[in-house]
Amino acid sequence: MITTNFVEQSSLINDQLGGRMKEVVEYVAQFIVNSPDKVKVTEENSPEGVLLRLEVDPDDKGRVIGKQGRVAQAMRTVLRVAAAKKGTRVQLEII
Amino acid sequence: MESQESPKNQESQEFSAKTVEEATKLALEKLGAKREDLEITVLKKGKSGILGLGAEEARISVRSVSAATTADVPKVARDILSELLEKMGVKASVEIVEPPLASMTPDSKVVALDITGDDLGILIGRRGQTLMSLQYLINLLVSHKTKARVPVMVDVEGYKRRRYEALQSLAERLADQVKSTKRAVTLEPMPANERRIIHLALSNDPEVTTQSVGAGEGRKVVIAPKGRETHPQTPRRATESDFRPESRERQA
């Protein structure tokens, strides 16, 4: 009973953690793409931290990556702060 | 800054008349706008021809970049930064501040934001890298939102302001030294925004020149005496103590 509760709670907290970071990516991506409705961010929790996958319209892919990956790199840097605040790690994949 | 043209919310209209000036006038009248609110692209210059023969109309494309959005930049930028920080889980407040003087050229228009709160070192990062990424994103988002080309400077608790002031006085001291020893001095590697401060600080000094050498992370400024061949390979390296004006004054 207690164990189940604990697992439930910790996964709930984890969801919230990932949820916030997901919002960071969604917020930035929706601003800079031409098709904001096609922005989709999924998250996966693993022992190494949170894995975020950002999916956008193929035409917008260049916008979220940026010249020489500058936008993607900036998003990752900012996400690292968000992750550190929660004591976890984060990876961002653009697919 | 990236100069991506996004077609959304950017309705451009075309106008034609005998000359570009007349087409512009027509556009201003039709749209009831002021010249500074519009971005005008000349599509065809137009030819007057001889006695109306072979004449071609001038054609321009007009896009609204209204002054209102430019005036909105500080508030829009502040709101976007606050929202992003909140989503990042950083508790902090954002204020619109005067841009640091050391970073200004007479004609530069910059919006400066300062983030204040507890334990914000995490936002600065090594050599200000994190802060630079944050600033890059904010500029990207603000320019998409307002369509204005006003650079936004993001600072954390006056970190850049202090850094810029220190760099400015460092530049002046090293310039004096270069003048008296007639030998070039190389500074430590610095990011682009900091090298710019050195260049700016000495741009009006007739006795020295500044130049950035090296590539990427290792790029650094050389301050050299003007008016003779310099040997950048033999300069004295600026030491750590050069970066601390206080300690130097105490010794003196």
Angle between helices A2-32 and B129-146 (to 10 degrees): 60
How much is the average pLDDT of B30-55?
77
This prediction's pTM: 0.69
How far apart, in whole angstroms, are the C-alpha atoms of residue B121 and residue B131?
Answer: 10
Asked if pLDDT for residue B177 goes beyond 90, the answer is yes
Per-residue pLDDT of B72-90, as tens digits, reads 889 999 999 999 999 998 9
Which residue has tokens 């209204």?
B66
Comparing CB atoms, the residue among B7, B89, B129 nearest residue A82 is B89
Q: Scan residues 9-28 of A and list those with Cβ closer than 8 Å to B.
A: 20, 23-24, 27-28
Instruction: Provide the pLDDT confidence category of residue B242 given band limits of 50, 70 and 90.
Output: low
Q: Residues B220, B193: contact at Cβ < 8 Å?
A: no
Per-residue pLDDT of B139-153, as tens digits, reads 999 988 887 888 999
Mutation target to probe the A interface, by most A beta carbons within 10 A, among B124, B133, B147 is: B133
Q: Tokens for B202?
A: 């000495």
Q: Do A75 and B4 touch (CB under 8 A)?
A: no
Per-residue pLDDT of B187-203, as tens digits, reads 999 988 899 999 999 99
Per-residue pLDDT of A16-72, as tens digits, reads 555 588 999 999 999 999 999 999 999 998 888 899 999 999 999 999 999 999 999
> Which residue segments constitute the domains of chain B, with CATH numbers given?
2-64 (no CATH), 69-157 (3.30.300.20), 162-242 (3.30.1370.50)
Taking alpha carbons only, the member of A54, A57, A45, A48 closest to residue A72 is A54
Asked if pLDDT for residue B107 goes beyond 90, the answer is no
Asked if pLDDT for residue A84 goes beyond 70, the answer is yes
Asked if pLDDT for residue B245 goes beyond 60, the answer is no
Instruction: Provide the pLDDT confidence category of residue B213 given band limits of 50, 70 and 90.
Output: very high
Identify which has the larger pLDDT, B84 or B229: B84
